[in-house]
């Protein structure tokens, strides 16, 4: 299972559109876009990689109370064993009235 | 009962004393040279991100790419030496380069994100550590 499927499954209970590309329902009160950041190999043996590290950014857009939503998402991600490498409020978009918050997550997979 | 005493050679003791005295100087040099692999990767990634897959033809004048810098080493609020790579100053239209770099990195609800800085950190991490080790060993040998 890829990191994208894992994130989608993890956040399914929130009933928020989650998409890897921009084809997400932007009229929704909240939506999440997954942005790929880095895919790398680590821990080599016999000239072969043993672990693959995937890092992605979750761009969370919401018109509501972003604090509760971010806490719920963070709790679910931690529960699912994701490593959270960064969490930051980016801005309030005046034109769309959306709060923009990012959570960077990483996950190791056996290769 | 037998008693064993260990004595370090004078040369090593002298070097350790000198390293203690010159630690700030050595750390600054290690950070400055260690940041170079990150700077190279970040600059290349930024170049690739500017104007990529834009809806309209890119009107980039190259101000953002020129603004990328390695800062001077500085002491952070915890008393640790640090160094940063990022965009500084304003462009020819008076817009903050750091703001443009941030929008490029994180995108907006109606603008696709084109991350360049965070992937650079992950990609250059090993090269930076190796470079810092190399410079540190060279500096210690000079003592």
Is A23 in a helix, a strand, or coil?
Answer: coil
Q: Confirm whether B105 is domain-assigned.
A: yes
- How far is it, in rounded angstroms, from Cα A27 to Cα B130? 48
Tokens of A30: 């909240």
Task: Indicate which of B42, B118, B129 best probes the interface with A, i.e. most A CBs within 10 Å of its own CB.
Answer: B118
Task: Classify residue B92: in a domain, yes or no.
Answer: yes
User: What CA–CA distances, in Å, run from B100 to A54, A83, B96?
Assistant: 26, 28, 7
pLDDT tens-place string over residues A20-52: 877 788 788 999 999 999 998 888 889 899 999
Domain count, chain B: 1
A107 has pLDDT over 90: yes
Tell me whether residues B118 and A59 touch, CB distance under 8 A. no
Q: What's the pLDDT at B110?
A: 86
**Within a domain: residue B55?**
no
- Give the model's confidence band at B1: pLDDT under 50 very low, under 70 low, under 90 confident, else very high: confident
Q: Which domain holds residue B102?
A: 22-50+63-138
* Contact criterion met (CB < 8 Å) for A33 and B113: yes
**Cα A44 to chain center, whole Å?**
27
Say whether B118 and A61 touch across the interface (CB within 8 A): no
Q: What is the DSSP string of A5-18?
A: HHHHHHTGGGT--E
**pLDDT score at A26:** 78
In Å, the largest CA–CA distance within chain B is 85
Both tokens of B14, joined, read 């002298």
**What are A38's strand-pairing partners?**
A55
Contact A40 B122 (CB under 8 A): yes
- At B104, list the tokens: 């490029």
d(CA B89, CA A8): 39
B104, A90 in Cβ contact below 8 A? no
- ipTM of predicted complex: 0.84
| Residue ranges of domains in chain A, CATH in brackets | 3-110 (3.30.2000.30)
Per-residue pLDDT tens over the stretch B106-118? 999 888 899 999 9
- pLDDT tens figures, B51-98: 887 777 878 888 999 999 999 999 999 999 999 999 999 998 999 999
Domain-embedded: residue B5: no
Q: Is A102 in Cβ contact with B106 (below 8 Å)?
A: yes
Q: What are phi and psi of A51, to 5 degrees?
A: -135, 140
DSSP-derived 3-state class of residue B47: helix
Q: Is B21 helix (H, G, I), strand (E, B) or coil?
A: helix
**Mean pLDDT for chain A overall:** 91
- DSSP conformation class of A16: -
- Token readout for A72 is 């719920």
DSSP structure string for B80-123: -EE--EEE-SB-TTS-BHHHHHHHHHH-BTTB-----HHHHHHH
B15 pLDDT higher than 90: no
Q: Quick one: which H or E segment has residue B30? A: helix B23-34
Contacts of A96 in chain B (CB under 8 A): 109-110
Other beta carbons less than 10 A from residue B119's beta carbon: 21
| Å between B41 CA and nearest CA of chain A | 13
On whether residue B72 sits in a domain, the answer given is yes
Give dist(CA B59, CA B130) in Å, integer: 38
B54: contact with A, CB 8 A cutoff: no
Angle between helices A66-79 and A3-10 (to 10 degrees): 120
> Pick from B83, B46, B49, B84: which is nearest to B66 by CA?
B46
Which pTM value belongs to this model? Answer: 0.83
Report yes or no on B58 lying in a domain: no
Is B57 a member of any domain?
A: no
Give domain status of residue B12, yes or no: no
B105: nearest Cα among A69, A59, A8: A59
């Amino acid at each position: 299972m890829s990191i994208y499927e894992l994130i989608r499954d993890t956040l399914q209970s929130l009933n928020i559109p989650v998409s890897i590309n921009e084809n997400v329902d932007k009229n929704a009160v909240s939506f999440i876009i997954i942005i790929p950041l880095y895919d790398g190999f680590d821990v080599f043996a016999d000239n072969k990689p043993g672990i693959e590290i995937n890092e992605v950014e979750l761009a969370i857009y919401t018109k509501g109370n972003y604090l509760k939503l971010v806490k719920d998402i963070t709790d679910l991600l931690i529960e699912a064993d994701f490593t959270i490498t960064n969490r930051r409020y980016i801005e309030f978009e005046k034109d769309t009235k959306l709060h923009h918050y990012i959570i960077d997550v990483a996950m190791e997979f056996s290769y | 009962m037998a008693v064993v005493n260990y004595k370090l050679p004078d040369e090593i003791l002298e070097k350790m004393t000198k390293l203690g005295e010159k630690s700030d100087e050595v750390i600054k040099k290690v950070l400055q040279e260690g940041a170079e692999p990150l700077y190279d990767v970040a600059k290349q990634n930024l170049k690739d991100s500017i104007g990529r897959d834009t809806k309209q033809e890119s009107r980039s004048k190259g101000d953002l790419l020129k603004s990328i810098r390695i800062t001077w080493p500085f002491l952070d609020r915890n008393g640790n030496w640090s160094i940063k790579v990022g965009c500084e100053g304003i462009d020819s239209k008076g817009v903050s380069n750091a703001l443009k770099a941030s929008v490029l990195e994180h995108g907006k609800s109606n603008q696709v994100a084109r991350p360049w800085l965070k992937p650079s950190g992950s990609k250059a991490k090993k090269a930076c550590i190796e470079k810092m080790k190399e410079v540190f060993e060279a500096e210690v040998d000079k003592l």
